[in-house]
Structure 1
C-alpha cells in the first residue's frame, strides 16, 4: 500500500495502523474537553450513533482536504442540522479539532510539522466554510 501524499489522509492512515477504532478515543476527548456534549447522546445505543457520526465526519474531512467531490458538503448540511438541535456552531466545529488532537496524540513522533500545518489550515477552512464567526 502506498502512503498518501495528502498529509491529512496520511494522518488517518497512520492512525489506522495503530488503532482499529478511533471512536472511543475521539469521544473520550470530546467529553473531557466539552463535558456538555455528554448529555447530547442518549444512554443506550449511543455507541452506534457516535461511530456513524465519526465515520461520516472523517469521510467529509478527507473529501474537504482532498478533491472535494461532494462528501465535504455534509459539513454545511450538518451545521444546519445541529443548529436545529441547539448545538452552538463553535461546539460543532470543535469536534473537528478534537479529531485532529486525537490523531496527533495517537501518532506521537510521526505527527510531522507538515501534517500539523495542513491540519491547522484545514480547520481554518472548515471554520470559514461552516460560517462560524471569528
Structure 2
C-alpha cells in the first residue's frame, strides 16, 4: 500500500495548504448526506468533539495507509465504541468516504485519478478491517 499511502498523505497535505480547518467542511457534508447525524452530537462542546474526532480519524487514516505503527488501531476501537452508541456500521465507514469526498471537492483539479484510486482502495481496506475488528 506504499503508493497509495503517498497519495493519501499528499491529498491531505494539499488540503491542509488550502484550508486551515477541514472540520466545518467535513461535518457539513456529513450532515447534508446523513441528516440523522446532527442529533448524534451534543449541543454544548460539540465543535471540540467534532474537531478532535476528525483529527484522530486523519491520524488513523495516515497510519493505516502507511506504516501501521499503532494509530490505525483506533479504527477498530471506534468501531466497537460506535456500535455501543448505536451508530450503524455503514455510517461509521461512511465517515471515511465523507472525508475523501470533501478532499476531492476541495482539491478540484489537483485531485488525480491515481489519488481517487488510492482513496477507493483505502476505503475498501478500512471497511474490511472494521469488519474483522468487530
- Same fold per superposition (TM over 0.5): yes
Normalised by the size of structure 2, how large is the TM-score? Answer: 0.94
Q: For residue 69 of structure 1, what is the aligned residue in structure 2?
A: 69
Q: For residue 6 of structure 1, what is the aligned residue in structure 2?
A: 6
Residue 43 of structure 1 and its aligned partner are, at CA, apart by 1.0
2:58 aligned with 1:58: yes
2:30 aligned with 1:30: yes
SS of alignment partner, residue 6 of structure 1: helix
Q: For residue 48 of structure 1, what is the aligned residue in structure 2?
A: 48
Residue 44 of structure 1 and its aligned partner are, at CA, apart by 1.4
Equivalent residue runs for 1:14-25 within 5 Å = 14-25=14-25
SS of alignment partner, residue 28 of structure 1: helix
Normalised by the size of structure 1, how large is the TM-score? Answer: 0.94
Q: How many angstroms apart in 2 are the aligned matches of 1:71 and 1:116?
A: 23
Q: Which has the higher contact order (CA 8 A, sep 6+)?
A: 2
Gaps of 5+ in 1: none
Q: How many angstroms apart in 1 are the aligned matches of 2:7 and 2:32?
A: 27
Give the CA RMSD over aligned residues: 1.0
For 1:90-119, what per-residue CA distance to the aligned partner results, in whole angstroms no more than 9, with x for missing partners? 100000000000000000000011110000
Q: How many angstroms apart in 1 are the aligned matches of 2:16 and 2:87?
A: 29
2:124 aligned with 1:124: yes
Q: How many angstroms apart in 1 are the aligned matches of 2:67 and 2:35?
A: 34
Q: How many angstroms apart in 2 are the aligned matches of 1:52 and 1:44?
A: 14
Q: For residue 110 of structure 1, what is the aligned residue in structure 2?
A: 110
Residue 62 of structure 1 and its aligned partner are, at CA, apart by 0.3
